[in-house]
């Protein structure tokens, strides 16, 4: 009897660089080791009480399917959020609720490309773009950005070099996970111009919109959506904004009717997003500005602590991140995956260690990022300081 084999394409789906070392962390914890998690953007910030209270006061029974586009009240809340940002043209019929920003990415890649077609992205980029590219048969064509320039964009010529007949879109994450880069007005205008002249979609993942530091001005793709309604696609999520990672709610916003009609048909296939999660999230209009102000202040302080701490470690290189809560850091190691695993399996300082994500999985080009890690500064200042100290000592021991 022959063994029945899974498809080759399943074998091409990469393991997440953020999660694949989790089994080693689990083992370390079993031995009583405390692990500081800087590997994943899972904030310790509290979810707004007004959302948690929806659970506490729950009366609806049964927990039934919702509408495929999203629950009407939740859609209203989302529209009012965008309207409050001064994008008054955004109506509920431009919004598709997705099961996490993850589903938004997947649906967008499927929607803009046939199998084998290409999307340009700036490496290092969010690692799961590689997963969704594999799942949707899309090729991500990487354009390199460098730590020395804060991972800002290269010249227009460098970008346009990578455009082929198969290119259908440019995909950005702004503010960027994993680099913390916030694109300038000039950069955004250049991307829009490239998109328009080459007839490409411009897809902007703006999950970290509120996380921009030092008073920098932020330029959303929404600034250009009314002028180029067929080309601009916004991907978004509530996970980070309201510390709702486990609620799995994101969205696609677009004025391209073929696109929103198509993603709605895709959404009908999976019936609906979570009913309880949407009931919680529709309260977003009741979250006070003071919530964001304190979250913003906390992250900017964490960023400062992290930057100062890492800069003081010999052989470590990074530029100051401008937004989001990540940074790509060059370490004095040859193989950061080996180092990250060693941190979990071998190293301890006062019975504690730290988990960070090897950066190679955030690149599209093989061999790049091998001496880099991504660090998520999602822990409180005290823990963050301890984690940096652990990293300092670990590097000495690893290289000793």
Question: Which residues in 243-272 contact its own copies (CB under 8 A)?
Answer: 243-248, 256, 258-259, 262-263, 265-266, 268-272
Which of residues 50 and 381 has its CB atom nearest to its own copies in the complex?
Answer: 50
Cα 366 to Cα 235, 260, 333, distances in angstroms:
27, 35, 17
Tell me whether strands 357-358 and 34-37 are parallel, antiparallel or unpaired: unpaired
Q: 79 to 118, contacts with its own copies by CB under 8 A?
A: 99-100, 102-103, 106, 110-115, 117
165 binds its own copies (CB under 8 A): no
The H or E element spanning position 264 is: helix 257-269
- For residue 28, give both structure tokens: 């370390």
C-alpha to C-alpha distance for 117 and 167, rounded to whole angstroms: 6
End-to-end CA distance of the chain: 54
CB of 56 to its own copies, least distance (A): 6
Reduce the DSSP state of residue 203 to 3 states and report it. strand
Residue 313 near its own copies by CB under 8 A: no
Q: How far is the CB of 107 from its own copies (least distance, A)?
A: 9
Q: Which is nearer to its own copies, 61 or 351 (CB)?
A: 61
Q: Residue 322 has what DSSP assignment?
A: -
To the nearest whole angstrom, how small is the minimum distance from the Cβ of residue 150 to its own copies?
27
* Binding-site member from 10, 149, 346, 350 for its own copies (CB under 8 A): 10
Site for its own copies in 185-224 (CB under 8 A): 196, 199-201
Q: How far is residue 255's CA from residue 263's CA, in Å, rounded to a whole number?
A: 12
Kindly indicate which of the ranges 35-43, 140-148, 149-157, 321-329 contains the residues binding its own copies, using the contact rule CB under 8 A: 35-43
Q: Is-contact 78 95, C-beta < 8 A?
A: yes
Closer residue to its own copies (CB): 93 or 345: 93
182 or 253: whose CB is closer to its own copies? 253
**Pick from 168, 283, 302, 303: which binds its own copies (CB under 8 A)?**
168
Binding mask 355-374 for its own copies (x = CB under 8 A): --------------------
Q: In whole angstroms, give the CA distance from residue 22 to residue 15.
A: 11
Buried b (16+ CB within 10 A) or exposed e, 274-297: beebbbbbbbbeebeeebeeebee
Binders of its own copies: how many residues, by CB under 8 A?
88
Which part of the chain contacts its own copies (CB under 8 A), choosing from 41-49, 306-314, 336-344, 382-390? 41-49
- Provide CB contacts within 8 A for 258, sequence distance 6+: none
């Amino acid at each position: 009897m022959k063994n029945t084999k899974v498809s080759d394409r399943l074998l091409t789906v990469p393991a997440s660089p953020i999660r694949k070392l989790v089994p080693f962390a689990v083992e370390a914890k079993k031995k009583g080791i405390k692990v500081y998690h800087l590997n994943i953007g899972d904030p310790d910030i509290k979810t707004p009480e007004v959302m948690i209270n929806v659970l506490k006061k729950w009366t609806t029974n049964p927990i039934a399917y919702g509408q495929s586009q999203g629950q009407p009240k939740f859609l209203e809340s989302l529209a009012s959020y965008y309207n409050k940002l001064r994008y008054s043209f955004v109506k509920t019929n431009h919004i598709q609720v997705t099961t996490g920003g993850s589903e938004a990415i997947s649906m967008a890649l499927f929607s803009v490309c046939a199998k084998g077609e290409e999307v340009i992205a700036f490496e290092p980029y969010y690692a799961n773009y590689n997963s969704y590219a594999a799942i949707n048969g899309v090729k991500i064509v990487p354009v390199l950005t460098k730590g020395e320039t804060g991972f800002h964009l290269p010249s227009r010529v460098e970008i346009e070099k990578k455009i082929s007949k198969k290119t259908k879109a440019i995909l950005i994450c702004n503010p960027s996970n994993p680099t913390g880069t916030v694109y300038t007005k000039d950069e955004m205008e250049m991307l829009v111009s490239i998109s328009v002249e080459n007839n490409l979609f411009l897809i902007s993942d703006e999950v970290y919109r509120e996380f921009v530091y030092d008073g920098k001005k932020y330029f959303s793709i929404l600034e250009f959506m009314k002028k180029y309604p067929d080309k601009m696609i916004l991907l978004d999520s509530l996970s980070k904004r309201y510390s709702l990672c486990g609620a799995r709610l994101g969205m696609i916003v677009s004025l391209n009717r073929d696109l929103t009609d198509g993603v709605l048909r895709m959404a009908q296939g999976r019936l609906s997003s979570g009913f309880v999660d949407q009931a919680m999230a529709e309260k977003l209009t009741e979250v006070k500005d003071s919530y964001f102000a304190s979250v913003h202040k906390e992250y900017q302080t964490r960023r400062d602590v992290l930057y100062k701490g890492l800069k003081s470690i010999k052989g470590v290189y990074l530029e100051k991140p401008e937004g989001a809560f990540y940074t790509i850091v060059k370490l004095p190691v040859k193989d950061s995956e080996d180092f990250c695993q060693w941190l979990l399996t071998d190293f301890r300082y006062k019975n504690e260690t730290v988990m960070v994500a090897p950066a190679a999985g955030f690149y599209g080009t093989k061999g790049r990022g091998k001496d880099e890690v991504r660090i998520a500064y999602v822990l409180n200042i005290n823990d963050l300081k301890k984690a940096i100290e652990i990293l300092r000592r670990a590097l000495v021991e690893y290289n000793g």
